[in-house]
Structure formats: structure tokens, C-alpha cells
């Protein structure tokens, strides 16, 4: 097997590491992190597809025709097997991802359909038709599952356009038959805080100060990508609906589809006066022309209260931010326009008549650089006034009038707070040109461009002259680094502190003074499904897929924790939180590995799906910031998590290998190690009776 060297930056230590990987490494990463299990466990999706496929095959047979199916993006081959079972004469199943195509071939063979299903390992736009082609003839049934949360983000439109031109007959049946996109205009301080920087009020000795955002940020259309979240976890109290739900546009997949940029305008009658800030959007698909077989992504407030809403993570709902907030008045109509290109959708609100030529409006691109550095949860974190108040209180305890202060975090506002609280001199270390440029804009907007010095260097490269030949007496960090994925990756602050040791005074004050790693055993309401083997799906044996995912999980980074924003995924605690390690930032990074073995007693009965791990930062004695558990909310143990960070989730083998499940375990034994050379946290868990 060919070996390749992959260079990657270690998010914890900051070092670039070169690793020798097999040529299949990227495949394994793709499979291990995929949503295949989630899709196969989505019963509502599978049943609706099966119903739609049966109906489509039936309509073709009623016309006295052979049913020839083209299945684009076949994945496991599930939909093709449904089609053959429903009576299709032959299926061409197209899958571009080679390991997936090979697995589909094995699944099809295992289920006895090899003589009626041909797996084509190509992109659908490369498939040929004819005596020597991939397909003998054009198909008269088109089956696809090319959709993401935004509907078109996985290239559905170009694939459909090509298929209708070259691969299927005119007037073919299509499953799904159509998709419809819906939108609702809302005002939401919480959601708007994910997109803009609010003014931050600081009570300083010289009076009240206000930190404002630069004008470029105020007028910036924001990040170009949709924010896809589980809207079913957003309470009604978090937004005000300014309009009813409206249909923005539909796509009929049984006819020629165009990938050309397009726009669709709907007149809205505001049902409330308020600030138009956000468009909430979702779609549904009709599996048949009559619309009697429907699969919907509509959130809970749109669906009947009696409806049991299926849980799924591969399709969620969309949050779109308007370029700027616009006051609207109840009863005074406005026009909402949805634009789309090949892969993305965006929205614009107009109070007057819709302008001609709107289709030329370009997709939003960040012009202020903040949306390039800060993701949506990070905006929310910076806008959290309670969190800011804790940092202000902590800074007041460590800063003195003669403090020389150095901040180490990506695009942090702590240097501004330190300046307003009276530090003699403030420096900020920005390791990228983007964060450097953004901080320049923020300092200029607040007339601080000559008060705070930006140093664009890695900590190891810092020289005494960068600091004006002064020693740093107060080192501060949130810490936040844009490269961090797992909670302990922000321990990069500790490594930076170690590299900066020659530039620090002997009585250095470090804020936060320490960090601690915590864990808790939980039962997930639904998240466990993304890692649960499927076995059988609608009567078809797909266990080969389960084995493929397991092999990829075990490939190298076996049994790792993975990041998830748990405010979107309800879970209840089965144990008390356990502190595993404390990292003392007053000291340099340890040279020896930390290792802890412990036992967590289960205090509640439930399904032991996994452990959640998070960091807590002790700013100063008595003041702590949690990146995980905020509180165990009720007597049933349902937890409240900080919405600003992703927590680490380690799924137990009871989820990934249900045959290893122990009934009613009483405790969980754990072993957790921290390797200071690599910055890696490794762990293992065992369920005990």
C-alpha cells in the first residue's frame, strides 16, 4: 500500500506534525465522520422513500412499460433494492465515493439483487448511455437522495440538470417528485447575536465605556454559509414570528431542472411589528405527484401538536441572517426574496416593489473579516454579557495601574477590557493575519489603535523588543483559538504560556490561573443514533455498512471523543460530574504524562450511551467559566449546556456494539491520559455491573 506524509497543525501544542498515512486514510476519516448510520436509522425517511418508489414503479407498470431505474447517490444501495423489490426490472445505482460503491456492491450481493442492480462508481455527470455505455438505455424512473439541510448544498441541481438531459427519458417518474422550500421571518436577539457584535458596556474607573463594532462589521452581509441547527431545540421565547410561514419556491424533479441562478419573491404581510433580522427555513419533499407521501423538516411550532416529530441529524433546519436588521410594521407588506445558485440559498428583504434583475445579486461574502475568524457560536459567546462580566470581575482582581498585560487568544476583546480597566500597557498576540486585521479594525473603531499593540507572531517567535523590552506581569486569555475542535485543544494557551516564560515576570499573574477537565456519564435522547449500527433497514441486510463504519472508527484514531454542541442534543445525566485533571497555568507545561483511573457511580437508571467531557477555567479564586455543563436542570437529570462551545462526546461500546451491552450497569470505570508532548487526551471506559 502506498504511504503518504500528511502535515497537520496540532491544535493543542501548535506544532506542525508530519504523520505517515495509508492511501485509504482520507476514506476512513470520511466514513467515520459520516451520517450514513443516521440516515439508515431515519425510519420516516426510509418508509416514505419506499412508499414513493412502490408508487412510481406501479405507475410505470400500469403504462405497460419496463421499469428502468437510475439511482443517483445510491450510498448503501438501499433505494435500488427497494425499487427491485417493488417490481423494477433493472436499476443503475451510481455512487462516486469508491469505498461506498464497493460496500453497496457487497450489500446488493448479500441481499440477492446482483442480477438486477448495477453499481456504477462514477459521478453521475460522467455516466454514459448506449450499447457500450454504463447504461444500456435511458431510465424512466429517477431516484435520488442528494439533499442536505439547505436542500441544494450537495449539488442536487447540477446532477438533476445533467440527468434529465442525458440519462433519463422525458416525462420520467421521479422519487422524490418535488421539493418545496419554506421561510418565516423572525426577530430574535439570540439568533442575531450569532451574526453581529453587540455593544459591550464596561464599568471602568473613569466612568462607563462602550466597546463598539467597526462600521465594516455593521454593514457586512456575514458568512456565506447557512447556519444549520436543530430548530426543534430553540424555545418559542427565543424569537418573535413577524410573518406566517410562506412557500418560497418548489422544484419539480420529474421535469428538466436548471442549475442557473434564480430568485423567487414573496409578498409578506407582517403579523407583528419588529426588527426583521433572521429568516428561518426548511423544506419538505413529496414522494409522489399527488403530494400524499410527504417527508417534512418543519419545526415543532409548524406541525400539529399531536404529531410525533421524527428526529434526524442529516437534515435539520436553516437559519439565514439578513444583511442588516430592518424595522417592519404590522400590516405594511414587504417583499422577501430567496436567491439561489448551484449550491446555496440566501435572502433579501425589500420594503418596496421587488426590483428587476434581482437574480444578479451575489451571494453574501464576509467583508469585515469577523465572520471569517469567528463562527456563529463564537459571536454568541462574545455577546454574552454575563460571561463578559465574569472576565471583568476577574481582571479587576489581577490588574494594577503598572500592569504590563499580554493577551493570547484569537480575536479576543480581553485586551480592550484590560485597557479600560487601567493596565499601563496592553499587547495582544495574534497568530494570523485575519485576526491581526480584525483587531486593528476593532481598536480603531474604539480609538485604541495607539493604545494596544498587536503582535502578529507565534509565541515561540516573540522577542523582548516586541514588548518594548518590558516583562509581562499579567498574561490573559479566554482562552479561545479558532483551530480548536475539542475542549482540551484550547490548552494551547498553556503551551503558549510555556513558550512565553522568558518574557514573564517572576511573580506573573496568569488569567485563567488553571483549567480542569470534567466528565459525566449520560443518556442521550437521540444523538446515540448517529453511531448506532443499523443491521436491518426496511427488511434489507445492511450490516456490511455497519462493519465498514466500525472498521473506519477503529482505523487509527480509534474510540476518540467527537465534538457536538449539546444544547442541540438533549441528554440526561446518569452520574455526578467528575473532575479528572487540573492544569496549573501558573506553571509551565508538565513533562510527564498525566493518567487517572477512576470509577463513576451511576446515580440514575438509564441507557449508558456515553461520557461527555468539557473544560472549566478558574479565572481567579471563586470565578469560573464552564465550556460544558451549566446545570443539571431538573429532577429527571436533563442537563443544560453552554451554547457557545462544543462538548466532547465519547460513545460507549453499548452504542456502537449493542451486543456488548451490560444490563443495568451500576458504575463506569475510566482511564484518561494527557500526553504533554502531543497534547492528546486519550480515554477508555468500561461498564460494570
* Residues annotated as part of the active site: 145, 154
* CA atoms 166, 172, 48, 297: torsion sign: positive
- Given its phi and psi angles, is residue 447 left (phi above 0), alpha (psi -120 to 50 degrees) or beta? left
The reply to whether omega before 87 is within 30° of 0 (cis) is: no
Contact between residue 487 and residue 615 where contact means Cβ atoms under 8 Å apart: yes
Taking each helix axis from N to C end, the angle separating 98-110 and 543-553, rounded to the nearest 10 degrees, works out to 140
| DSSP sequence for 401-415 | TT-EEEEESTT-SHH
Rounded alpha-carbon distances, angstroms, from residue 119 to 129, 608, 615, 643: 14, 39, 47, 43
Q: Which residue has the cell 465519547?
A: 650
Contact between residue 499 and residue 623 where contact means Cβ atoms under 8 Å apart: no
Burial class of residue 591, CB neighbours in 10 A (0-12, 13-18, 19+): exposed
Neighbours of 525 (CB within 10 A): 14
- What does the block give as the cell for 26? 482520507
Contact between residue 672 and residue 519 where contact means Cβ atoms under 8 Å apart: yes
d(CA 658, CA 532): 8
d(CA 77, CA 391): 54
Calculate the CA 175 to chain-centre distance: 28
Q: Which residue has the cell 514573564?
A: 504
Contact between residue 62 and residue 88 where contact means Cβ atoms under 8 Å apart: no
Could you give the count of Cα atoms lying within 13 Å of 592 in the half-sphere of its Cβ? 3
Could you give the count of Cα atoms lying within 13 Å of 305 in the half-sphere of its Cβ? 0
With CA atoms as reference, report the closest residue to 477 among 499, 455, 493: 493
d(CA 390, CA 383): 13
Neighbours of 42 (CB within 10 A): 22
- For the chain, the 3-state helix, strand and coil shares in percent, each to the nearest 5, are 25, 35, 40
Instruction: For residue 490, give every residue at least 6 positions away whose Cβ sits within 8 Å of its Cβ, in sequence order, or none.
Output: 478, 479, 480, 481, 484, 515, 615, 627
With CA atoms as reference, report the closest residue to 180 among 311, 28, 338: 338
- Mark 198-223 as b/e (b = at least 16 C-beta within 10 Å): bebebeeeeeebebebbeebeebbbb
Contact between residue 220 and residue 366 where contact means Cβ atoms under 8 Å apart: yes
Rounded alpha-carbon distances, angstroms, from residue 561 to 271, 296, 321, 527, 596: 45, 31, 32, 14, 17
Contact between residue 354 and residue 265 where contact means Cβ atoms under 8 Å apart: yes
d(CA 16, CA 29): 19
The DSSP secondary-structure symbol of 602 reads B
Burial class of residue 558, CB neighbours in 10 A (0-12, 13-18, 19+): exposed
d(CA 441, CA 425): 19
Amino acid at each position: 500500500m502506498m504511504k503518504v506524509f500528511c502535515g497537520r497543525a496540532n491544535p493543542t501544542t501548535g506544532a506542525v506534525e508530519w504523520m505517515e498515512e495509508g492511501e485509504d486514510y482520507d476514506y476512513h476519516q470520511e466514513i467515520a465522520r459520516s451520517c450514513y448510520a443516521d440516515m439508515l436509522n431515519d425510519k420516516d425517511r426510509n418508509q416514505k422513500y419506499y412508499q414513493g418508489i412502490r408508487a412510481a414503479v406501479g405507475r410505470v407498470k400500469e403504462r405497460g412499460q419496463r421499469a428502468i431505474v437510475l439511482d443517483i447517490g445510491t450510498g448503501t444501495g438501499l433505494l435500488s433494492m427497494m425499487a427491485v423489490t417493488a417490481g423494477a426490472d433493472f436499476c443503475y445505482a451510481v455512487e462516486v465515493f469508491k469505498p461506498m460503491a464497493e460496500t453497496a456492491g457487497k450489500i446488493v450481493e448479500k441481499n440477492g439483487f446482483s442480477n438486477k442492480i448495477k453499481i456504477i462508481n462514477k459521478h453521475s455527470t460522467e455516466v454514459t448511455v448506449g450499447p457500450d455505455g454504463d447504461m444500456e438505455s435511458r431510465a424512466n424512473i429517477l431516484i435520488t437522495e442528494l439533499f442536505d439541510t439547505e436542500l441544494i448544498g450537495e449539488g442536487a441541481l447540477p446532477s438533476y440538470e445533467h440527468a434529465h438531459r442525458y440519462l433519463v427519458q422525458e416525462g420520467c417518474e421521479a422519487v422524490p417528485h418535488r421539493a418545496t422550500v419554506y421561510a418565516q421571518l423572525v426577530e430574535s436577539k439570540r439568533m442575531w447575536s450569532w451574526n453581529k457584535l453587540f455593544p459591550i458596556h464596561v464599568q471602568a474607573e473613569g466612568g462607563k465605556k462602550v466597546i463598539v463594532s467597526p462600521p465594516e462589521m455593521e454593514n457586512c452581509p456575514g458568512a456565506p454559509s447557512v447556519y444549520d441547527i436543530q430548530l426543534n431545540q430553540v424555545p418559542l421565547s427565543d424569537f418573535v414570528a413577524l410573518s406566517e410561514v410562506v412557500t418560497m419556491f418548489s422544484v419539480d424533479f420529474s421535469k428538466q431542472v436548471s442549475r442557473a441562478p434564480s430568485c423567487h419573491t414573496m409578498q409578506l404581510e407582517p403579523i407583528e411589528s419588529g426588527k426583521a433580522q433572521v429568516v428561518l427555513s426548511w423544506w419538505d419533499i413529496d414522494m409522489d405527484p399527488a403530494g400524499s407521501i410527504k417527508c417534512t423538516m418543519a419545526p415543532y411550532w409548524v406541525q400539529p401538536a399531536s404529531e410525533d416529530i421524527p428526529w434526524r441529524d442529516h437534515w435539520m433546519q436553516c437559519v439565514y441572517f439578513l444583511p442588516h436588521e430592518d424595522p417592519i410594521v404590522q400590516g405594511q407588506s414587504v417583499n422577501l426574496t430567496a436567491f439561489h445558485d448551484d449550491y446555496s440559498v440566501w435572502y433579501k428583504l425589500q420594503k418596496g416593489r421587488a426590483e428587476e434583475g434581482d437574480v444578479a445579486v451575489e451571494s453574501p461574502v464576509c467583508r469585515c473579516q469577523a465572520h471569517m475568524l469567528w463562527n456563529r457560536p463564537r459571536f454568541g459567546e462574545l455577546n454574552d454579557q454575563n460571561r463578559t462580566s465574569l472576565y471583568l470581575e476577574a481582571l479587576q482582581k489581577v490588574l494594577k495601574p503598572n500592569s504590563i498585560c499580554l493577551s493570547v487568544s484569537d480575536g479576543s476583546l480581553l485586551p480592550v477590557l484590560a485597557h479600560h480597566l487601567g493596565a499601563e500597557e496592553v499587547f495582544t498576540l495574534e497568530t494570523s493575519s485575519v485576526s491581526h486585521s480584525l483587531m486593528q479594525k476593532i481598536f480603531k473603531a474604539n480609538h485604541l489603535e495607539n493604545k494596544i499593540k498587536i503582535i502578529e507572531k507565534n509565541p515561540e517567535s516573540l522577542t523582548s523588543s516586541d514588548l518594548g523590552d518590558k516583562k509581562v506581569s499579567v498574561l490573559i486569555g479566554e482562552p479561545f483559538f479558532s483551530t480548536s475542535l475539542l475542549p482540551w485543544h484550547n490548552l494551547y494557551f498553556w503551551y503558549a504560556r510555556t513558550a512565553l516564560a522568558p518574557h514573564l515576570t517572576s511573580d506573573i499573574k496568569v488569567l485563567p490561573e488553571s483549567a480542569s477537565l470534567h466528565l459525566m456519564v449520560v443518556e442521550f435522547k437521540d444523538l446515540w443514533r448517529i453511531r448506532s449500527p443499523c443491521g436491518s433497514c426496511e427488511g434489507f441486510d445492511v450490516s456490511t455498512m455497519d462493519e465498514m463504519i466500525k472498521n473506519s472508527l477503529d482505523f487509527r484514531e480509534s474510540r476518540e471523543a467527537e465534538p457536538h454542541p449539546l444544547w442541540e442534543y438533549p441528554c440526561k445525566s446518569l452520574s455526578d460530574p467528575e473532575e479528572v485533571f487540573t492544569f496549573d497555568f501558573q506553571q509551565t507545561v508538565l513533562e510527564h504524562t498525566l493518567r487517572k483511573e477512576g470509577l463513576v457511580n451511576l446515580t440514575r437508571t438509564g441507557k449508558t450511551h456515553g461520557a461527555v467531557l468539557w473544560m472549566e477555567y478558574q479565572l481567579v479564586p471563586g470565578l469560573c467559566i464552564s465550556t460544558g455543563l451549566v446545570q443539571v436542570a431538573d429532577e429527571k437529570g436533563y442537563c443544560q449546556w453552554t451554547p457557545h462551545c462544543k462538548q466532547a462526546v465519547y460513545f460507549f461500546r453499548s452504542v456502537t456494539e449493542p451486543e456488548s451491552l451490560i444490563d443495568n450497569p451500576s458504575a463506569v470505570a475510566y482511564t484518561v491520559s494527557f500526553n504533554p508532548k502531543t497534547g492528546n487526551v486519550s480515554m477508555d471506559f468500561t461498564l460494570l455491573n
